[in-house]
Amino acid sequence: MVNTGTITTTPNGDINLTTAGRLVVVATITAGGSGAVNLTATGANSDVFFEANVGSTSGNLSATANRSVTLFTNGASLSTTGNVALTGTNGAVRETGTGTITGALLTTVSAAGTILGNVNAVTGFNATNGPTGGQIILNDDVATLTVTGASDTSGGPITITNTGGITTTGALSTISGASITLTSTNNGALAIGAAITAGTSGNVVLSTGNADITINGTVGSTSGNVTASVANGNINVASAGIKTGGNATLSALGNITLSGGNIIAGNTASLTAAAIAETGTGEIGAGLLKTSSANGTLLQSGLNTVSSFSATNSTSGNITLRNAATPLTLGSISEAGGGNVVIANTGPIVIHPR
Residues 212, 281: one domain?
Answer: no
Residues 171, 96: one domain?
Answer: no
Indicate if the pLDDT at residue 187 is higher than 90. Answer: no
- Answer yes or no: is 131 within a domain: no
- From 256, 289, 317, the end of a domain falls on 256
Q: Which domain holds residue 307?
A: 274-354
Spatial distance between the Cα atoms of 24 and 202, rounded to a whole number of angstroms: 38
- Residue among 159, 243, 269, 245 nearest 206 (CA): 159
Q: Tell me, what amino acid is at 288?
A: L
Indicate if the pLDDT at residue 266 is higher than 80. Answer: yes
- Answer yes or no: is 37 within a domain: yes
Spatial distance between the Cα atoms of 49 and 203, rounded to a whole number of angstroms: 34
Give the pLDDT of residue 2.
79
User: What pTM, to 2 d.p., does this model score?
Assistant: 0.97
- Answer yes or no: is 266 within a domain: no
Residues 222, 297: one domain?
Answer: no
Specify whether the CB–CB gap between 154 and 135 falls below 8 A. Answer: yes
Residues 212, 298: one domain?
Answer: no
Residues 242, 282: one domain?
Answer: no
- Answer yes or no: is 267 within a domain: no
Spatial distance between the Cα atoms of 161 and 152, rounded to a whole number of angstroms: 17
Specify the number of domains making up the chain.
3
- From 201, 229, 256, the end of a domain falls on 256
- Answer yes or no: is 346 within a domain: yes
Give the pLDDT of residue 354.
54
Render pLDDT for 78-129 as a digit per residue (tens, 0 to 9): 999 999 999 999 999 999 999 999 999 999 999 999 999 999 999 999 999 9
Spatial distance between the Cα atoms of 240 and 163, rounded to a whole number of angstroms: 26
Indicate if the pLDDT at residue 353 is higher than 80. Answer: no
Q: How far is CA 109 from each of CA 91, 188, 191, 229, rounded to the nearest angstrom?
A: 9, 27, 24, 30
* CA triple 145-153-205, angle to 5 deg: 45
**Other beta carbons less than 10 A from residue 339's beta carbon:** 17
Spatial distance between the Cα atoms of 348 and 330, rounded to a whole number of angstroms: 11
Q: What percent of the chain has pLDDT over 70?
A: 99
| 45 DSSP 8-state letter | T
Question: Which band of pLDDT confidence, cut at 50, 70 and 90, is reported for residue 199?
Answer: very high
Residues 165, 242: one domain?
Answer: yes
- The pLDDT of 319-331, averaged and rounded, is 97
Average pLDDT in the chain: 96
Specify whether the CB–CB gap between 266 and 288 falls below 8 A. Answer: no
Give the pLDDT of residue 301.
87
Residues 9, 101: one domain?
Answer: yes
Spatial distance between the Cα atoms of 193 and 310, rounded to a whole number of angstroms: 31
Choose between 73 and 324: higher pLDDT: 324
Indicate if the pLDDT at residue 33 is higher than 70. Answer: yes
Spatial distance between the Cα atoms of 345 and 112, rounded to a whole number of angstroms: 52
Indicate if the pLDDT at residue 327 is higher than 90. Answer: yes
Residues 81, 147: one domain?
Answer: no
Spatial distance between the Cα atoms of 191 and 213, rounded to a whole number of angstroms: 6
3-state secondary structure of 268: strand
**Beta partners for residue 286, in sequence order:** 265, 306
Residues 153, 248: one domain?
Answer: yes
Give the pLDDT of residue 302.
83
**Main-chain phi, psi angles of 315, to 5 degrees:** -120, -50
Residues 11, 91: one domain?
Answer: yes
- The pLDDT of 330-354, averaged and rounded, is 92
Render pLDDT for 201-246 as a digit per residue (tens, 0 to 9): 999 999 999 999 999 999 999 999 999 999 999 999 999 999 999 9
- The pLDDT of 45-69, averaged and rounded, is 97
